[in-house]
C-alpha cells in the first residue's frame, strides 16, 4: 500500500528550490558587477584617469591614503549598499532572505577578487568599504522588502455597492423593508405597486403614465 506524502511545512526548503536560488544569486551578481563597471567607467572618464578591469576585480585601488582610493571605496559602498538593495527588493522581495543574499553577494565578490589578484585583500580600506556596503545593503533591503510585504492588498471593484448592501441589510434587520423604509428623497415607495405613498403623484403598474391623487369634496356624498 502506497504511503501518502506528508505536505511540506510552511517555510520549508521546497518553497525555495535550489535552481531558483542559484538564478537569483546569478542575477544579483551580474547586476552587481554591471553597476560597478558603469560607476568605475563613468568616474574614470570624469576624472580623466585610465580605466582598467582592475578597478572592478581588484582590491588594490581601494586605499585609505589617497583621495582616489577613497573615491573607489565610496563607489563600492554605493554599488553594494544602494543599488544591490534595490535589486534584492525587486528579485528576492522577502525580508527574511535579505541578509543571506547580501552576505552571499559580498562573499562571492571576495572569492572573485582573491582569484583575480591571487592574494587575499590586504588593504583595510577595502575591508571597511565591503563592511559598510554589506551593512547598508542589508538595512535598505530589509526596509524595502518589509515595505512591500506590509502594503495593503486591494481587490477590484468599487466600495459603493458594498456600503449600500450593508446599509440595506441593516435596514432589513431593523424591520424596515423596501416598502416601509424612507428613501433618501423622503419617498416611501413600493416597487411592485408602482406608486408612492408619501406623495400625491405616482406611476401606474403598467408604466403607461402618471396619475395624481386629488382631494374629494365631502359634500358630494349624500
> What pLDDT is recorded for position 13?
47
The backbone torsions φ and ψ at residue 20, rounded to the nearest 5 degrees and listed phi first, read -70, -40
* Pairwise pLDDT comparison (99 vs 164), residue with the higher score: 99
Compute the distance between CA of residue 130 and CA of residue 135 in angstroms, rounded to an integer. 9
Average pLDDT over residues 180-186: 43
Separation CA 61–CA 49 (nearest Å): 12
Contacts of 144 (CB under 8 A, 6+ apart): 85, 86, 88, 89
Ordered alpha helix ranges (H), the chain: 18-47, 54-57, 67-77, 84-91, 98-117, 124-149, 160-173
User: What are the sequence ranges of the domains in the chain?
Assistant: 17-149
pLDDT digits (tens, 9 = 90+) for 129-152: 999 999 999 999 999 999 888 877
Q: What is the pLDDT of residue 191?
A: 43
Residue 162 in grid coordinates: 458594498
Query: CB-hemisphere CA count at 13 Å for 141?
Result: 30
Nearest by Cα to 101 from 92, 110, 109, 114: 92
Mean pLDDT, to the nearest integer, of 117-129? 94
Confidence of residue 24 (pLDDT cuts 50, 70, 90): very high
pLDDT at 49: 87
33, pLDDT greater than 70: yes
d(Cα 135, Cα 141) in Å, to the nearest integer? 10
pLDDT(198) > 50: no
For residues 12-39, one letter each, b for 16 or more C-beta atoms within 10 angstroms of the residue's C-beta and e for the rest, the string is eeeeeeeeebeebbeebbebbeebbbeb
Q: Are 48 and 104 in contact (CB under 8 A)?
A: no
Residue 179's pLDDT band (boundaries 50, 70, 90)? very low
Task: List residues bridging with 211 in a β-sheet.
Answer: 202
Amino acid at each position: 500500500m502506497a504511503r501518502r506524502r506528508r505536505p511540506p511545512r510552511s517555510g520549508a526548503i521546497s518553497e525555495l528550490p535550489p535552481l531558483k536560488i542559484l538564478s537569483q544569486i546569478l542575477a544579483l551578481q551580474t547586476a552587481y558587477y554591471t553597476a560597478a563597471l558603469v560607476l568605475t567607467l563613468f568616474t574614470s572618464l570624469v576624472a580623466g584617469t585610465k580605466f582598467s578591469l582592475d578597478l572592478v576585480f581588484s582590491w588594490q585601488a581601494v586605499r585609505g591614503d589617497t583621495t582616489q582610493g577613497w573615491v573607489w571605496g565610496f563607489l563600492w559602498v554605493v554599488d553594494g549598499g544602494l543599488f544591490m538593495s534595490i535589486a534584492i527588493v525587486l528579485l528576492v522581495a522577502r525580508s527574511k532572505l535579505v541578509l543571506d543574499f547580501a552576505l552571499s553577494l559580498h562573499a562571492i565578490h571576495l572569492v572573485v577578487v582573491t582569484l583575480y589578484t591571487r592574494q587575499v585583500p590586504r588593504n583595510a580600506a577595502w575591508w571597511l568599504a565591503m563592511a559598510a556596503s554589506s551593512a547598508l545593503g542589508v538595512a535598505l533591503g530589509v526596509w524595502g522588502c518589509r515595505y512591500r510585504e506590509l502594503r495593503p492588498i486591494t481587490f477590484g471593484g468599487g466600495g459603493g455597492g458594498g456600503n449600500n448592501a450593508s446599509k440595506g441589510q441593516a435596514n432589513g434587520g431593523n424591520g424596515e423593508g423596501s416598502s416601509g423604509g424612507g428613501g433618501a428623497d423622503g419617498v416611501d415607495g413600493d416597487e411592485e405597486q408602482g406608486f408612492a405613498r408619501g406623495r400625491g403623484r405616482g406611476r401606474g403598474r403598467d408604466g403607461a403614465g402618471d396619475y395624481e391623487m386629488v382631494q374629494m369634496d365631502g359634500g358630494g356624498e349624500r
